[in-house]
């Protein structure tokens, strides 16, 4: 696969750190793993760390929307941090801004959900 994934759970928060390229081939597989974790651990906040994500197309947007619908019922939030310029352009174009919080770093992202 074109990507390396690291996940961690703290309380009701799932941290997803992606290293590589996020496209349809990756989201098809990742979707199953992450959905299971979200339901099993009753995750309310998903924090995507995109610091080492070099590429994302609209498959990534669909994938994030999917996770949002999953945690919405628990009044959860999605936070995306450390986006590079290209990914931020795709992100802005998609309207994801309306449903996701954006942070500069993972620490900042975690603080956001502490007050949320």
Partner 1 sequence: MYNEIKSTFSAKIENVMLARTIGIAFLVELDLTLNFVNEVKTVISEAITNAIVHGCLSNENKVVQLNMSYDDVNIYIEVIDKGVGIADIEKAREPLFSTKVDEERAGLGFTIMEVFTDKLEVRSRVGDGTKVIMVKKYHGENN
Where along the sequence are the contacts to partner 1 (CB under 8 A)? 2, 21, 23-25, 27-28, 31, 55, 57-59, 61-63, 65-66, 85-86, 90, 93-94
Task: Tell the smallest beta-carbon distance from residue 3 to partner 1 (Å).
Answer: 10
Task: Tell the smallest beta-carbon distance from residue 57 to partner 1 (Å).
Answer: 4
The CA angle 116-68-38, to the nearest 5 degrees, is: 85
Residue 3 or 109 with smaller CB distance to partner 1: 3
Report how far residue 79's alpha carbon sits from residue 91's, in angstroms, rounded to the nearest whole number: 12
Task: Tell the smallest beta-carbon distance from residue 51 to partner 1 (Å).
Answer: 17
The two three-digit tokens of residue 73, written as one number: 């019922």
Given its phi and psi angles, is residue 21 left (phi above 0), alpha (psi -120 to 50 degrees) or beta?
A: beta
């Amino acid at each position: 696969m074109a990507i390396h994934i690291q996940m961690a759970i703290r309380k009701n928060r799932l941290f997803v750190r992606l290293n590589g390229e996020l496209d349809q081939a990756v989201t098809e597989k990742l979707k199953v793993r992450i959905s299971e974790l979200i339901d099993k651990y009753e995750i309310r906040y998903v924090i995507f760390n995109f610091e080492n994500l070099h590429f994302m197309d609209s498959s990534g947007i669909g994938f994030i929307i999917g996770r949002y619908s999953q945690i919405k019922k628990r009044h959860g939030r999605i936070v995306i941090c450390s986006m590079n310029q290209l990914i931020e352009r795709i992100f802005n174009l998609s309207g994801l801004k309306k449903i996701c919080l954006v942070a500069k770093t993972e620490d900042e992202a975690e603080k956001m959900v502490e007050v949320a």
